[in-house]
Structure 1
Amino acid sequence: MKNKRIHLCLFAGLLFAACSQPQYQLTDDGVILNLRQENKVEASKLRVQVLGDELIHVSATPDKDFPTDSSLIIVPGLQTVPFEVEDAGDSILLSTARLNVMVSKLDGGIQFKDKAGHLILAEKSGGGRTFSPIEEEGTKGYSVRQLFNSPDDEDFYGLGQHQSDEFNYKGKSEELFQYNTKVSVPFIVSNKNYGLLWDSYSLSRFGDSREYKQLNRVFNLYNKKGERGSLTGTYQRWNGDLKQMVREEDSLCFEDIKSIKNLPENFPLKGASVTYEGDIEASESGAFRFILYYAGYVKVYLNNELVVPERWRTAWNPNSYKFTFELEAGKRVPLRVEWKPDGGRSYCGLRVQTPQPEDEQNSQVWWSEMNKKLDYYFVYGDSMDEIIKGYRTLTGKSQIMPKWAMGYWQSRERYKTQDEILDVLKEFRKRKIPIDNIVLDWNYWRESEWGSHEFDEKRFPNPKEMVDSIHAMNAKMMISVWPKFYVTTAHFKEFDEKGWMYQQAVKDSVRDWVGPGYVGSFYDAYSAGARKLFWKQMYEKLYPLGIDAWWMDASEPNVLDCTDMEYRKSLCGPTALGPSAEYFNTYALMNAEAIYNGQRSVAPNKRVFLLTRSGFAGLQRYSTATWSGDIGTRWEDMKAQISAGLNFSISGVPYWTMDIGGFCVEDRYVAGQMEYNKSGKENADYKEWRELNTRWYQFGAFAPLYRSHGQFPFREVWNIAPKGHPAYESITYYTDLRYRLMPYIYSLAGMTYFNDYTIMRPLVMDFSFDKRVENIGDQYMFGPSFMVCPIYRYEDRQRDVYFPNNGGWYNFYSGEYIAGGQKLTVDAPYERIPLFVKEGAIIPVGPEIQYTEEKPAAEIVLYVYRGQNGNFTLYEDEGVNYNYEKGACSNILFSYNDAEGTLTIGDRKGEFDGMLKERNFVIVPVSKENPKAFQPDAQGQTVHYDGHQQTIKL
């Protein structure tokens, strides 16, 4: 048979199996087992497919046959590789060049081993898989659960981007759904040399298959008086006179527009102060996991201990936060929740999980609400980079973004007129602050015409002239396009007549927040015809203007804010493929496909660039980046973005960004700006606002994409602070530095395509041998050379930094040498983020530029950090097209030999139109004995390079 060898001894087993159970069938790409099924919650068939030497697909069903559905996330046409199958007693052994997969004949349980026989991953005894029938919208399916053994020293990373500031998911749980600020990707990377991609599009859970319960379902509750059955809720508001209401609460569930109706009727929340207090009593001992849901200001005390310091989120966009607390059976523990609602409608909730059941402890747990079958992909690799390469083999390569996308983007909610957006760009150019992209957010249309793609001519009298003017200032323009349409628009009607609009919002007359409120809904992106129409409407109305990139907002899809889960499903379904419960999480992927394929169909050699608020596995193949949504403007929100960005990156999608400064703004910062505008005086809140933005810009300059956005106060640097202020000087310093580092950054972009590289890298990716990095989620590598250590607390001027045990490190600003393998407290002055360079790093630094394509890097300063051997490849191409896919690009390898003290500049490999055939390299060595502060135009040994190899003695 093609691509495999089968040991003859297997045929005897097959012959015997034909007359008894179980039966085994060989396929061109693996094995199918017919299992003895005791009941319908067990699998009757198991399929193991070889998709590569390191890639194994496992699927199971309780039905007689596998469904014929195809995956939305796996790219078609994967070729199998040679493999062998043999009978191994009570198991089937399927082996590739790098893996041995043992499959039990009795129950289908699977063990994945390396070629030396070391166990990598094993399903729980008996296979660890269960099926529970479910029916939604007349379609039958299964809730599925899969358990794997997990040793105590295993760590998990990935799962997309979440906001509870969790990094290592070992011993934690995460519910996987899409929401504004929450992007779920069902892929984890383990420190045990594998990744696991869970192929489900429905509501899923990792780590614990159970949902959180209301407090009264888990605890005995006692009010302030000690009476059993409830907590005491005290609602008070000072409005000249104290207004107070006290009532008993059997749960804290005011989490959405349905459940907040349980709050006291006719009690105004705006300006209120609410306390829930009493005791909770557990019936068992152990670690209880809590999830807090909140809008406004909230604190939580347990056993008189502050377990959740004050957190805040705007009323229309609540957040969740998780914490764990050890409780003893029968012991009453005081609970106190202090809540200050934000606005007239606000949210608060607290739910809990009991200690995890024994069969799930020390396990890797996956659960999904509705699948046609159970599906997962095992990815093996000697490093996390290899694992991510395998993931992208399955789900698609990451395209190289346009070079201009690596520069700075300016955005706000929102530029309200044509003059406003042009004036901002003119100010950047006047002040000589580099910028490449300016963004037009929502509501550029006439108020009642969302989805028309028509500009309001009163505010934007000549959109084509506006875009042309932006281009004339050597910048690009991105525009916000939603999958949302008001019922009165011609575009809605065009979708609707073909049955391609979600109808529930229209039936319920759901009105949005604009003006008097308008009725509309979202198109069904699961329909191939609807996707083509969505692009066609953009192509007819927006593309002719010369717009460069597309911002796909609310792509969760977010039809209505703050709804309960069941109503969310009703609002975004049924889909063309099936029930919304089954296809709950993949809308953003389908929507991105619409734009990517649409633009490439009309301009096949112009790089597509999309930014989307949601995402899923495979998003990277559509040249799409994700941002972390409408996050809050708090220090804890900034800190949470570090771990969020790291886990999103290690989930295999390399381009991630955030709203620098946060999106939703506390009232105190708005008031501080207004006071400053009137008096010119900086009050305490405005002082903090400036420092918060400064620290966030410092962090953002070392994200894959560098982008500022948010509500008022405006985020342009001169609107944050005047020239000469340390905030202004620091922000412009890092913007300039970003552009100076463009040869380095764009080379990383090339590596994402050619080497399946990850730009924003948790330390565990590069220093997995050092156990001390496994839980460090607030430092990271930006490419192979820079270790970035953001400052995320107000007025901090120092922070602790761990220097991985991989030789030495250099302070970027001073050149001071630091030995690895130690934690130090380092200085962090207002104007600087702690930044360190790995020993052996080679960093190319380009000329001063105002936009990425202003001029070629005819002279590059090469910093060489001595102490270890090192190398770096300078990648270049045409920057705006797909010719790189056909080989139109160049690579120059720099290799440093520390023992010899030599730098070799290799032969240039490849070429492209407009390529510099000659240039100068200025070599600046930095060593322990000769430390040098970074200077972008440093003097050093100059080498003229014409494309041929040279070796230079340093």
Structure 2
Amino acid sequence: MKFSKTTSFMLTLAVFITVNLNAQSIEGTRQGVKFATQNMDIQIEFYSNNIVRVFKTPQGFPYNKKSLSVVKSPETISIKTTQKGNKTLLESSSIQVEVNPETGGISFYDPNGKLLLKDKDFGTQFSAVDDAGALSYNVREGFLLDSDEAVYGVGQIMDNKFSRRNSSHHMQNENMSTYSPYFMSVKGYAVFWDNYSISKFNDNAQELSFEGLGHCADYYFMYGKNADGVIAQVRDLTGKAPMLPLWAYGFFQSKERYHTEDESLDVLKKYRDLKIPIDVVIQDWRYWPEFNKSDSLWNSQSFDRQRFPNPKKWADEIHKLNAKLLIVTWPGFGPKTEQRKEFDSKKMIINFDTWPPDSGARPYDVYNPEALDIYWRYLNKGIFSYIGNDGWWLDSTEPDHINRKDSDYNLPTHLGSYRSVKNAYSLLHNRGIAVNQRKANDYKRAVILTRSGFIGQQLYGSNTWSGDVVSSWDMLEKQIPAALNYTLMGIPNWNSDIGGFFAGGWKKDGGNKNPEFQELYVRWMQFGAFCPMMRSHGTDLPREIWNFGERGTWCFDAQEKAINLRYSLLPYIYSTSWDVSNNNGTFMRPLIMDFVSDKKTHNIGSEYLFGRSILVAPVTKYGVKEWSVYLPFGSDWYNFWTNAYVKGGQTIVSESAVDKILLYIKAGAILPFGPKVQYTTEKKWDNLEIRIYPGADGTFTLYEDEFDNYNYEKGKYTEIAFLWNDTAKKLTIANRKGSYSGMLQNRKFTIVLPSGLSKSVAYNGKKTEIKL
């Protein structure tokens, strides 16, 4: 699309201009324009060259919106404005925005004038409604997309679909359903509709729309050219993901639940005796006192004296065994807890029933900043500063809602009716704990496992798990596209209960010794090894490795193999975490992120890249001996297990041995492998194996730091770049960049090719070249 430039001027911070257009008036603002049409006041504001905010309110009813997700302030940039007929064109260096002041239509173009998205003519509606006694609106926003344009995001949805086209979703965050009003297009843009109410997403042949409760239609258009670029814009707008400690990428063992401090210690000791790697044990609910065998002290954030007589010693013993402790805390409080009494006295309780049943527990008002501080005060005194735990399991962060009545959604919160802000509950609960922990302890990185999420939650180091999913092959299959859509919202950390949470259906057929359940558990563990967090958890059946057999039995050995593979990849995983944090990368990369020009990838949600080099194709059916894998066009591939070289752009049928997850490595990849260890920091990375996969040029940056503090924010880390020249068959190890306390001054790298050829090289931080 080309525009004749009959009028041109610059809008800068101090320039305000009015243009009269056929009785319509567009007024220049700091970073855009504002105008009135269709009984609406509309403001368009550039937040950067790549991000545009569109803000609409009913005419004459201004609204001062304070976002719960957006942390970015508008940059000062130059905007060129051109008038053509009755339309106005705004141009930054990256986006063109065409405004029709008569219809309210807004069209977004790339710098070359290619249409990306259209905010429909007459496409916004405000319908006045009574929101718990206050005037509000049912707000609807419609967009026009290309008919064959795939879009992703919307949330973690268990429908086994990848593209969100031609679908409709009631967006209400609950156990296993985690939504944000957001979509990303294969055309390299995304829209975040900044609304926290129970709402609706709908896409059909006529339009894509959001609909929800509020006083404004407020959305951000972000253009990144490709999926990586879009995610960079999402994080620029709503917050970057911090580094997690190295131990957060080890193996986590949990169950519902360890009843005593000795029980979890014995589990950890047995893992150590068996020499199975493990880094974290998790303490689930009811470690607190049970008043008269009731739940009236639910979530008291204190320890039962009979079952946990010396919690500080318990945590210390876990640490002496070179492991970490996560402990659960809930948003709801029983009526006899001190927290509940204080929250009640200050009207900081949302007065509906939450888990568990018949307990009288109620959730606190996370929308009140003072309530977040009160919550932390009790949590810090009763647990964090007392026993020195290493992280948090934030359960029920939707929160659970039982004995549900529609009137419950009219209950007041600090920010309005519960209905109007419900979907942001997890975001604010996570924020309160992460921010307050950092204030209390500035050298221990926050690690949070949480059951729900919303855009912006990545800022707090949160890792969302998929909820209390049933233990079935169907549910395992659904985890993959659900995870990929979730991570495309810019939230990189995701995991699931390995084996599924509810496993009672397997009890009658032998439980842990049932061959089908064993295979399901192994396949799920293999998938878990290639998720940002690898965590075994569930109810009904125990999940510790020895419950499935002894060493030498196939199920035990297959689990051990998956765990050991995870630990051998720690240098790759931790370097990927730096790519996520520093470069806005993504752990679980749908194929469209790297191969969008291959249209076959647009609807593939059953496989993905873990980091930028490893294609993962989890097996999700029972008893299969072969599995189809699509290898995208644009790269050639190596079978990880056999090193067989395979051309890209084809579907292959691969042998699917039960003890091996299907993995294919991109030609040109450089993968570092670490030593065999029992926990993440047991051994130094002073003799890493560096595997080179020829067939294309490649690069990899090995990242290292002190592994668990915030000194990396002060520049205390190192990067070592590896560069493979495929034509010359030469590997260059560049000069080491940076430094930190305790870093390796001298080390050895063993370079290995798929052919078996290997060379060892001493490295002292200076550039080294190796001919292979």
Cα drift, residue 69 of structure 1: 2.2
Whole-Å separation in 2 of the counterparts to 1:204 and 1:365: 11
Alignment of 1:454 with 2:282, yes or no, is no
Change (3 A) 1:732 1:68: same
Cα drift, residue 164 of structure 1: 1.2
Among candidates 203, 208, 219, match of residue 364 of structure 1? 208
1:724 paired residue number:
552
1:941 paired residue number:
759
Matched to 1:457, the amino acid is R
Whole-Å separation in 2 of the counterparts to 1:518 and 1:206: 35
1:736 paired residue number:
564
SS at match of 1:922: strand
Change (3 A) 1:136 1:24: same
Matched to 2:59, the amino acid is D
The within-5 A match list for 1:323-334 is none
1:438 paired residue number:
281
- Could you give the per-residue CA deviations for residues 207-232 of structure 1, whole angstroms, max 9, x where no partner exists? 25xxxxxxxxxxxxxxxxxxxxxxxx
8 A Cα contact 1:110 1:122, kept in partner: yes
The within-5 A match list for 1:66-145 is 66-124=62-120, 126-145=121-140
Matched to 1:405, the amino acid is A
Whole-Å separation in 1 of the counterparts to 2:175 and 2:485: 17
- Percent identity, aligned pairs only, is 38
Cα drift, residue 15 of structure 1: 5.9
Cα drift, residue 150 of structure 1: 1.3
Among candidates 736, 748, 761, match of residue 920 of structure 1? 748
1:467 paired residue number:
315
Among candidates 378, 383, 401, match of residue 244 of structure 2? 401
Alignment of 1:539 with 2:360, yes or no, is no
Matched to 1:670, the amino acid is K
Cα drift, residue 34 of structure 1: 1.6
Cα drift, residue 108 of structure 1: 2.1
Highest CA radius of gyration, 1 or 2? Answer: 1
Alignment of 1:835 with 2:653, yes or no, is no
Report the more deviating stretch, 75-84 or 154-163.
Answer: 75-84
SS at match of 1:397: coil
Whole-Å separation in 2 of the counterparts to 1:129 and 1:511: 39
Change (3 A) 1:89 1:423: same
Alignment of 1:552 with 2:554, yes or no, is no
Matched to 2:766, the amino acid is H
Cα drift, residue 85 of structure 1: 2.3
8 A Cα contact 2:672 2:691, kept in partner: yes
Among candidates 166, 177, 184, match of residue 182 of structure 1? 177
Number of residue pairs matched by the alignment: 757
8 A Cα contact 1:151 1:362, kept in partner: no
Among candidates 409, 412, 416, match of residue 569 of structure 1? 409
Whole-Å separation in 2 of the counterparts to 1:648 and 1:843: 26
Matched to 2:23, the amino acid is Q
Cα drift, residue 662 of structure 1: 0.2
Among candidates 18, 24, 30, match of residue 14 of structure 1? 18
Whole-Å separation in 2 of the counterparts to 1:783 and 1:911: 24
Alignment of 1:715 with 2:543, yes or no, is yes
Structure 1 unaligned spans of 5+: 38-43, 209-359, 677-681, 933-938
Cα drift, residue 65 of structure 1: 4.4
8 A Cα contact 1:451 1:491, kept in partner: no
8 A Cα contact 2:591 2:601, kept in partner: yes
8 A Cα contact 2:37 2:102, kept in partner: yes
Whole-Å separation in 1 of the counterparts to 2:584 and 2:450: 21
Alignment of 1:804 with 2:641, yes or no, is no
Alignment of 1:191 with 2:186, yes or no, is yes
Whole-Å separation in 1 of the counterparts to 2:372 and 2:91: 41
SS at match of 2:421: coil
Matched to 2:10, the amino acid is I
Cα drift, residue 84 of structure 1: 2.0
The structure 1 segments of at least 4 consecutive aligned residues displaced by more than 6 Å after TM superposition are none
SS at match of 1:542: helix
8 A Cα contact 1:33 1:108, kept in partner: no
1:34 paired residue number:
36
8 A Cα contact 1:441 1:480, kept in partner: yes
SS at match of 2:430: helix
Among candidates 507, 511, 515, match of residue 670 of structure 1? 507
Matched to 1:98, the amino acid is S
SS at match of 2:738: coil
Change (3 A) 1:112 1:415: same
8 A Cα contact 2:19 2:27, kept in partner: no
Whole-Å separation in 1 of the counterparts to 2:288 and 2:696: 57
**What RMSD in Å do the two structures reach over aligned CA positions?**
1.8
Whole-Å separation in 1 of the counterparts to 2:672 and 2:349: 51
- Could you give the per-residue CA deviations for residues 11-57 of structure 1, whole angstroms, max 9, x where no partner exists? 9983646xx732222211211112253xxxxxx21110101111000
8 A Cα contact 1:921 1:943, kept in partner: yes
Among candidates 375, 396, 407, match of residue 218 of structure 2? 375
Cα drift, residue 136 of structure 1: 1.3
2:616 paired residue number:
788
8 A Cα contact 2:434 2:446, kept in partner: yes
Whole-Å separation in 1 of the counterparts to 2:16 and 2:473: 67
Whole-Å separation in 1 of the counterparts to 2:16 and 2:239: 40
The within-5 A match list for 1:894-905 is 894-905=722-733
8 A Cα contact 1:811 1:818, kept in partner: yes
The within-5 A match list for 1:488-503 is 488-503=336-351
8 A Cα contact 2:183 2:192, kept in partner: yes
Whole-Å separation in 2 of the counterparts to 1:394 and 1:575: 26
8 A Cα contact 2:568 2:675, kept in partner: yes
- Could you give the per-residue CA deviations for residues 87-112 of structure 1, whole angstroms, max 9, x where no partner exists? 23211111101111111121221111
The within-5 A match list for 1:286-435 is 361-368=205-212, 370-435=213-278
TM-score, with structure 2 as normaliser = 0.96
SS at match of 1:910: strand
Among candidates 659, 663, 685, match of residue 497 of structure 2? 659
8 A Cα contact 1:21 1:35, kept in partner: no
Cα drift, residue 451 of structure 1: 2.4
Change (3 A) 1:728 1:371: same
Alignment of 1:582 with 2:416, yes or no, is no
Cα drift, residue 76 of structure 1: 4.4
The within-5 A match list for 1:873-888 is 873-888=701-716
Structure 2 unaligned spans of 5+: 1-7, 292-296
Change (3 A) 1:184 1:539: same
Cα drift, residue 940 of structure 1: 2.0
The within-5 A match list for 1:231-246 is none
Matched to 2:500, the amino acid is G
- Could you give the per-residue CA deviations for residues 849-880 of structure 1, whole angstroms, max 9, x where no partner exists? 11111121001100000000111111111111
8 A Cα contact 2:332 2:355, kept in partner: no
2:4 paired residue number:
none
Whole-Å separation in 2 of the counterparts to 1:723 and 1:512: 39
Alignment of 1:477 with 2:325, yes or no, is yes
8 A Cα contact 1:112 1:122, kept in partner: yes
1:49 paired residue number:
45
Whole-Å separation in 1 of the counterparts to 2:20 and 2:150: 43
Matched to 2:344, the amino acid is D
2:3 paired residue number:
none
SS at match of 1:556: coil
Alignment of 1:854 with 2:682, yes or no, is yes
Whole-Å separation in 1 of the counterparts to 2:727 and 2:418: 62
SS at match of 1:123: strand
SS at match of 1:477: strand
Matched to 1:867, the amino acid is G
Whole-Å separation in 2 of the counterparts to 1:852 and 1:791: 27
8 A Cα contact 2:11 2:79, kept in partner: no
8 A Cα contact 1:904 1:950, kept in partner: yes
Matched to 1:757, the amino acid is G
Whole-Å separation in 1 of the counterparts to 2:537 and 2:703: 30
Among candidates 627, 633, 652, match of residue 465 of structure 2? 627
Cα drift, residue 159 of structure 1: 1.3
Whole-Å separation in 2 of the counterparts to 1:512 and 1:872: 48
Alignment of 1:156 with 2:160, yes or no, is no
Change (3 A) 1:776 1:16: closer
Change (3 A) 1:781 1:16: closer
Cα drift, residue 711 of structure 1: 0.4
2:532 paired residue number:
704
8 A Cα contact 2:312 2:388, kept in partner: yes
